[in-house]
């Protein structure tokens, strides 16, 4: 490395593959922010399932190798480019995207993808906001266009996106039903906005949901595992009901007639299809949630940077504490 350049620890991926391709390096050059860019000293970063798909090389997004994974950091502004007016050194922030990657001691980001982190949230919680809350907001408000008084089933409510969805849905006046796969998960789902919770590992849980919602059915289902649940979802919907597919890990057979009789719809979403304006709009609503206090990220498993391969294994395998997985720097 050239002398005079500041170096940092960061995860680098030199080839697509399993978790073992995540390499911790200690001589990665700290980037220098230009114009509308900021440099963030990272305290925590979120681990999202999509980062495992990208790392494996099977996702549509294929970064140029080598790269540092991740998008969601929380930390403190270290330096700013000449055109940055919204932030100064020392400000506490979180991001929804980075330019240089998130699994690192420092992250470079465009200033419009960085937001103030209020003092009532710690850095681990800050790292849990980006993808989970912006996705939940896009699914509920932008795609499903939910209205107060409607019912929503958060199918897979105990993870990063699911808990965010429960909190937002409750704050917007919906009747919230959630599912989790463990007793601990069910408890946390109830503590974070759900009126009722069901266990998606119980054989008869769909019948229990049907019994709870009655003839009318559910207005909106936010689905985290469509390849397992989509067929059941269509049977749970109300007339004109909507399934919003947030997560799916394979194919599933459905009967399209189920959509005809109820004039129901299935819509997929992609957070990164959101425009710059939509991100700003989602951020304004979420910022209000942080100020008022209904937006409170729940942090689950925590790993040091050197255990990142374990984190990638655990997030796909599933059996781990509820809440958002984070890396600590």
Ligand X SMILES: NC(=O)c1ccc[n+]([C@@H]2O[C@H](COP(=O)([O-])OP(=O)(O)OC[C@H]3O[C@@H](n4cnc5c(N)ncnc54)[C@H](OP(=O)(O)O)[C@@H]3O)[C@@H](O)[C@H]2O)c1
Nearer to ligand X, 33 or 156 (CB): 156
Shortest CB 218 distance to ligand X, Å: 14
CA distance 161 to 159: 6
> What is the token pair recorded at 280?
């700003």
Q: Which stretch binds ligand X (CB under 6 A): 16-24, 93-101, 159-167, 211-219?
A: 159-167
> Helices 308-317 and 49-56, interaxial angle, to 10°?
110
**Considering the rule CB under 6 A, would residue 159 count as an interface residue with ligand X?**
yes
β-strands 218-223, 151-155 pairing: parallel
Shortest CB 257 distance to ligand X, Å: 23
Shortest CB 291 distance to ligand X, Å: 24
Exactly one of 31, 162, 241, 297 binds ligand X (CB under 6 A); which one?
A: 162
Hey, which residues between 265 and 304 contact ligand X (CB under 6 A)?
Answer: 269-271
Shortest CB 189 distance to ligand X, Å: 8
Gap between the terminal Cα atoms of the chain: 23
Hey, which residues between 45 and 84 contact ligand X (CB under 6 A)?
Answer: 48-50
Omega into 66 within 30° of 0, i.e. cis? yes
**Considering the rule CB under 6 A, would residue 158 count as an interface residue with ligand X?**
yes
| Tokens 């229990």, residue located | 208
What contacts 22, CB < 8 A, 6 or more positions away? 11, 13, 55, 69, 103, 308, 309, 312
Nearer to ligand X, 36 or 142 (CB): 142
Exactly one of 181, 235, 287, 294 binds ligand X (CB under 6 A); which one?
A: 181
Is 308 in contact with 329 (CB distance < 8 Å)?
no
77 half-sphere exposure, CB direction, 13 A CA radius: 23
Hey, which residues between 243 and 262 contact ligand X (CB under 6 A)?
Answer: 246-247
β-strands 265-268, 299-304 pairing: unpaired
CA distance 44 to 26: 17
Nearer to ligand X, 40 or 128 (CB): 128
Nearer to ligand X, 126 or 156 (CB): 156
Hey, which residues between 110 and 149 contact ligand X (CB under 6 A)?
Answer: 131-132, 135
Nearer to ligand X, 179 or 264 (CB): 179
The full DSSP string for 216-234 is: T-EEEEEES-HHHHHHHHH
Nearer to ligand X, 33 or 322 (CB): 322
Is 186 in contact with 205 (CB distance < 8 Å)?
no
**Considering the rule CB under 6 A, would residue 312 count as an interface residue with ligand X?**
no
Binding positions for ligand X, rule: CB under 6 A: 48-50, 131-132, 135, 155-162, 179-182, 185, 200, 224-225, 228-229, 246-247, 269-271, 315, 318, 322
């Amino acid at each position: 490395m050239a002398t005079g350049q500041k170096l940092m620890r960061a995860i680098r991926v030199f080839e697509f593959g399993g978790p073992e391709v995540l390499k911790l390096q200690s001589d990665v050059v700290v980037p220098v922010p230009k114009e509308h860019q900021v440099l963030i000293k990272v305290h925590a970063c979120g681990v999202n399932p999509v980062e495992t798909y990208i790392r494996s090389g099977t996702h549509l997004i294929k970064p140029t190798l080598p790269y540092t994974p991740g998008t969601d950091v929380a930390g403190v502004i270290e330096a700013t480019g000449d055109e940055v007016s919204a932030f100064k050194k020392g400000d506490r922030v979180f991001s929804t995207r980075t330019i240089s990657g998130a699994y690192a001691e420092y992250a470079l980001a465009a200033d419009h993808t960085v937001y103030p982190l209020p003092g009532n949230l710690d850095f681990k919680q800050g790292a849990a906001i980006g993808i989970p809350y912006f996705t939940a907001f896009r699914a509920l408000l932008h795609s499903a266009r939910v209205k107060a008084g409607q019912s929503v089933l958060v199918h897979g409510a105990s993870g990063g996106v699911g808990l965010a969805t429960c909190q937002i849905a409750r704050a917007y006046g919906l009747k919230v039903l959630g599912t989790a796969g463990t007793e601990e998960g069910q408890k946390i789902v109830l503590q974070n906005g759900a009126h009722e919770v069901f266990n998606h590992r119980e054989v008869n849980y769909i019948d229990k949901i049907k019994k709870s919602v009655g003839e009318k059915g559910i207005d909106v289902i936010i689905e985290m595992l469509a390849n397992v649940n989509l067929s059941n979802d269509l049977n749970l919907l109300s007339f004109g009901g909507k399934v919003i597919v947030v997560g799916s890990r394979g194919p599933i057979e459905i009967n399209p007639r189920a959509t005809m009789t109820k004039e129901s719809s299935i819509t997929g979403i992609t957070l990164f299809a959101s425009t710059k304006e939509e991100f700003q709009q989602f951020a304004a609503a979420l910022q209000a949630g942080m100020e008022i206090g209904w937006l409170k990220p729940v942090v689950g498993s925590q790993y040091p940077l050197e255990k990142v391969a374990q984190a990638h294994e655990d997030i796909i395998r599933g059996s781990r504490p509820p809440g958002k997985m984070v890396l600590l720097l």
